[in-house]
Structure 1
Amino acid sequence: MTDSTPSAAEDLAERVRAGELRFHELEDHTDADTATAARRLLVEEQSDASLDVVGDYGFPAERADPNIENMVGAVQVPMGVAGPVRIRGGRLDGERYLPLATTEGALLASVNRGCSVLNDAGGANVRILKSGMTRAPVFRVADVVEAEALVEWVRDNRDALREAAEETTNHGELLDVTPYVVGNSVHLRFRYDTKDAMGMNMVTIATRAACELVEDETDASLVALSGNLCTDKKPAAINAVEGRGRSVTTDVTIPREVVEDRLHTTPEAVAELNTRKNLVGSAKAASLGFNAHVANVVAAMFLATGQDEAQVVEGANAITTAEVQDGDLYVSISIASLEVGTVGGGTKLPTQAEGLDVLGVRGGGDPAGSNADALAEAIAVGSLAGELSLLSALASRHLSSAHAELGR
């Protein structure tokens, strides 16, 4: 943390108390660390809390300026690694440590066990099967006749929409626009290739330009730039079916002797458990995620690599399958909507950038988009390791004893 003198921070805090400055204006009058210290003094005074540990952060506060407002410090989440695990991906090929940041005891141990078993099986296959970040504005029309006219206009003017959208970005490409009509509301779901960026800001700005063209050329009126058919940070069947961000699938075939010796169960037991728990149980619960705990690994790797943590909602939209093949255990995970990037957003924060460095995927890839693809592949393989370990612990009835042994 850059040093800021107590007197300078106190003087700034006093100006806020006197009504001369607003809480959010402090960076306009001093450096970011002094503003953060002054704000911390004011919060401690109002709440009677001590923020000494929150204030002991390890990078200049100005580095976080694009990521947060009203900064008072930083919350430190413990980070560990699982692996190294052998990944046989389309973009990531070789052994990698997986960085995970979490406060859940036993998670790293479980994923690490799964990684070891994946290695014994020769590693995990993983591929990106679809890619595209979406934004879906909603328009008002007079009636269904105008709705049909708008749908036809969109289909006839895709090149014009693409040109308008892509004028706003040096990297994004508009892939397609899909209309959805509900009465006199028309949602247009724009899908973009955002390369190595997760891309929400990129596609929002690009879609705004395309919407201006729609309003200029049709009778439709834009109601909202996001009409919730995108769908961002909410459980949604459309993401499970159509995908959003990266759609990625990983699988492995584990020899029977490895299952029996390392996981202390059988392929038949794991396959039956997966069917009754992840498939039947999830269906009965009307869940959108048919898995055991994919969200655990997605969340931990998101935090470790600077991803938008709220998008774990979509990242947990995964289906785990397991079956016996010629006496061995086949397991797969298909994650429909994994929204990740290696440039922009939280990836520029120093600690999160180091997490990306562990995987060797920081910044833009060559070709463009390859680093974000590789990150998605690593998260999927980590999720496979976590599923394999938990399912085996349940099948062997060792879950509670493992937590008891670790004291968590």
Structure 2
Amino acid sequence: MTTVSTRRHRLGVRLGALSVGQVVSWGILYYALIVAAPAIADETGWTLPAITLAFSAGLIVSALSGILVGRWLDHRGPRLIMTAGALIGAVGLVVVSAAPNLLVFTVGWLVCGLAQSAVLYQAAFTVITRRHGDGRRRAMTILTLAGGLASTVFAPIVAGLLTRLDWRATFLVLAILLLVLTVPLHWFFLEHDWTPLPPPHPDEHVHHVASVVRTRRFWALELSMLSLAIALFSVTLAVIPLYMEKGLSYELAAWALGLLGAGQVIGRLVYVVLPHRSAPWVPLATTSGFAVVLLGLMALVPGPPWLLIAIGMAAGAVRGAQTLVQGSAVADRWGTRNYGSINGVFAAPITAITALGPALGPVVAAGVGSYAAMALIMAGFGAVALVSARFS
């Protein structure tokens, strides 16, 4: 009994350390740039699209390097790779802060992309899946709820620093914070290596990357999740111009965006308390179905403002659930052995497309003439996700 209690305490401490690490890592390596971009543009003369493109390039590096990080985590454990990721992130931020031109600024974010692959959700999901086994959904929910607080915590911190320091000094301070806060968490509280898994049961089929990616099921899952990510991120990240197009003031549209973020928390809580005894494709199909309806409503409903905000919150809940559906997708279909390797390949295209999310909605809206038309097109992507989910 004592052994069971001790193990639960140890798991709780490790999950707490991992969750705090997510708050700090997301806040500094992701949200800080979004907050600071206008100040950087004002001080340097670089355009906002160019600054965003540099950041997106780092996210694409994160998607690609995540494949190798997943393999490492499968075989060697999280402590070394996640500690190294925090160190690399600090170095990348120092390069960003000292960048004399846009090229070096971009190089700094490419280095930060390497760090993101080792410390953000995909790496943490691999750790949780191996560590918590059948209890992974609850642990993933706790982790993502913590990660969801990152913007709430760090947006005011970054904004406050920018009122007292220039953007270069701000990113230097953030580099120090990342180093001081996350390196000890990862080094002292995460596993140095993994206890070898017991030999597979004679009836257990062990899946590997090479065999999984040759299946129709994998590609149906990839198509479904990729289409869903395109649909949700393009519309929800463009909710301010979409709602301003429908007559809301900038301030009210900004409130709608903030409440959409709160909806993500609700969606994750709802997801974890629902029963999960259905076939693995059902949660994905359900999430996609809700996305089709809600994105269609965001496109077609003209008002009033309270209704648009409520629809946006519901869409945020779907986006919050989508994070957990994605995190569980590989383990639900192919088990937890080699999860890191398989999930790294699976998640790379999704991470890459979400890197383009901030730009994708506005680009499509410019092409089709309005944000409402863009949202309707993205509802169509949700329909593609719904159909392909059935074959996953």
Name the one with the larger strand percent. Answer: 1
Q: Which has the larger radius of gyration?
A: 1
Structure 1 length as normaliser, TM-score?
0.23
Length-normalised TM-score, structure 2: 0.24
